Amino acid sequence: MPNIPKHIAIIMDGNGRWAATNGLPRAEGHRRGAERIEAIIEACKNRGIKYITLYAFSEENWMRPGVEVIALMHLLRHFLVSKRQGMVERGVRFRAIGDIARLPSELQQDIKETERMTASCRDITMVVALSYGGRHEICRACNSLLAKGVKDATPELFAAELDTNGMPDPDLLIRTSGEYRISNFLLWQLAYAELYFTETLWPDFDDKALDLAIESYATRERRFGMISEQVVAQGEE
Ligand code: FPP
């Protein structure tokens, strides 16, 4: 397929509505949502995508009912512990972004261990945003530059302080479940991303749904502020 994005970011929305539609508890919606992840990572890898960033838990999600927060933390731990060996075997490097220090200490340990185990995997990088908020990430980056005494910040210096340091910006953002918002996700990094929204609920998001998003991306002309002729000329260089 031509014009494959290098980095896809996904807001995995609709687990709760999927559960309600199927007469199941919300936690079951999250469990089914987590089950989709492995297949989508594999599908991305097979299509040549090198990075996938998943919004798994926002800093605003701490405000959800305690039982749901606990269920999500358990699910995340279970996911990491049960999937990390498979990640190593399939060349999936794991990385977490967000305010990791706010997570339960056992989950922090699981994250560290999964990052360590998968550090040399090179086929695809799976980034999971946990306790993540774009505005706070930007504030952390500002504070870090101030602490270093930087007086003249540039986009490059700033990006190096973000949690996503060293990664390319997402080319394509997918949000499932028919919501048309960014919800404090990767505010800096999405500056030039193509946006794709689908009605499909995350637990129903499969390879076919992924291909529709990639096909839509392939039809977009990314001008980065230039005019069409310049973009065409650049492609011919
Ligand atoms: C949004 O759906 C989804 C979340 C807040 C959690 C996403 C988590 C997972 C898919 C599973 C855990 C992730 C990993 C990496 C193992 P919602 O609950 O807001 O759905 P609703 O809007 O229909 O209520």
The predicted-structure confidence for 137-159, as pLDDT tens digits, reads as follows 999 999 999 999 999 999 999 99
Q: Tell me the residue type at 150.
A: V
Residue 145: CATH number of its domain: 3.40.1180.10
Mark 146-173 as b/e (b = at least 16 C-beta within 10 Å).
Answer: eeeeeeeeeeeebbebbbbeebebbbbb
56 C-beta closer than 6 A to ligand 1 = yes
Q: Per-residue DSSP letters for 190-231? A: TTT-EEEE-SS-GGG--HHHHHHHHHHHHH----TTS-HHHH
71 C-beta closer than 6 A to ligand 1 = no
Question: Is 1 part of any domain?
Answer: no
206 is catalytic: no
Please give the distance, rounded to the nearest whole angstrom, from the Cα atom of residue 152 to the centre of ligand 1: 39
Question: Is 2 part of any domain?
Answer: no
Q: What's the pLDDT tens digit per position in 158-199?
A: 999 999 999 999 999 999 999 999 999 999 999 999 999 999
17 C-beta closer than 6 A to ligand 1 = yes
Residue 237 has pLDDT above 80, yes or no: no
The structure tokens listed for 229 are: 């002729």
Confidence band, pLDDT 50/70/90 cuts, at residue 106: very high
204 is catalytic: no
Q: From the alpha carbon of 179, which atom of ligand 1 is closest?
A: 22
Residue 118 is part of which domain span? 7-236
DSSP state of 178: T
Q: Please state the pTM of the whole predicted model.
A: 0.95
Question: Is 37 part of any domain?
Answer: yes
74 C-beta closer than 6 A to ligand 1 = no
| Domain total of the chain | 1
Beta strands in the chain (DSSP E): 7-11, 51-58, 92-97, 124-132, 172-175, 194-197
Q: What's the pLDDT tens digit per position in 53-91?
A: 999 999 999 999 999 999 999 999 999 999 999 999 999
Question: Is 221 part of any domain?
Answer: yes
Q: From the alpha carbon of 68, which atom of ligand 1 is closest?
A: 18
111 C-beta closer than 6 A to ligand 1 = no
- The catalytically annotated residue of 13, 110, 163, 171 is 13
Please give the distance, rounded to the nearest whole angstrom, from the Cα atom of residue 73 to the centre of ligand 1: 11
